Amino acid sequence: MAQGLRDLVWLPIEQYRRDGRIVRGFQRGAASFGTSTAMAALELTNRVVQTIQAAAETAYDMVSPGTLSIEPKKVRRFPHHRLAHQPVDLREGVAKAYSVVKEGLADTAQTIYETAAREHESRGVTGAVGEVLRQLPPAVVKPLIVATEATSNVLGGMRNQIRPDVRQDESQKWRHGNE
């Protein structure tokens, strides 16, 4: 954002010195300031959303039943490699968000169904109802996690559409960090 403020003042002066067209300098400065401000707002919003998501993931782990958790087959429930696979543009961000929501809801429904069926076979209707009730707290928190991840995808797509060079830089950073 500081770069945008600097450009807002400096670009008109620079343009005027170059060819006397101060209006063109104001246009360039205002465009740079707008882009910088939008990027700062998107970054800040995305960090807040990611913080909420981390808190929701922690709450999910706390309210999930011990050995019969809502997702017993998975070792790592929430992938944190998202930063390396940012959406290219807003269209891809919305598509990824839709996919995250669809998979999250399907996973939650499937897991509740599977645990109820498993408990029904071993303990009858009472066991199935009890297990479904045990799954309710994590099933309530999971949509918050899904919503924040979907929001992060949309915000990342918006950011990367405005400034594609930032996505390329982050992609390179995460690629080198994992080697």
Residue 42 placed within a domain: no
Residue 79 placed within a domain: yes
What pTM was estimated for this model as a whole?
0.71
Domain that includes residue 164, residue range = 53-177
Residue 22 placed within a domain: no
pLDDT single digits (tens) 22-51: 888 888 889 889 888 888 899 999 999 999
Residue 75 placed within a domain: yes
Residue 100 placed within a domain: yes
Residue 31 placed within a domain: no
Q: How many domains does the chain have?
A: 1
- In whole angstroms, how far apart are CA 79 and each of 3, 15, 50, 54, 74? 34, 48, 13, 11, 11
User: Is residue 174 very low, low, confident or very high in pLDDT (cuts 50, 70, 90)?
Assistant: low
The torsion defined by the Cα of 74, 75, 77 and 78, in degrees rounded to 10, comes to -140
pLDDT single digits (tens) 76-92: 455 555 555 788 899 99
Residue 115 placed within a domain: yes
Residue 104 placed within a domain: yes
Distance CA(114)–CA(111), nearest Å, equals 5
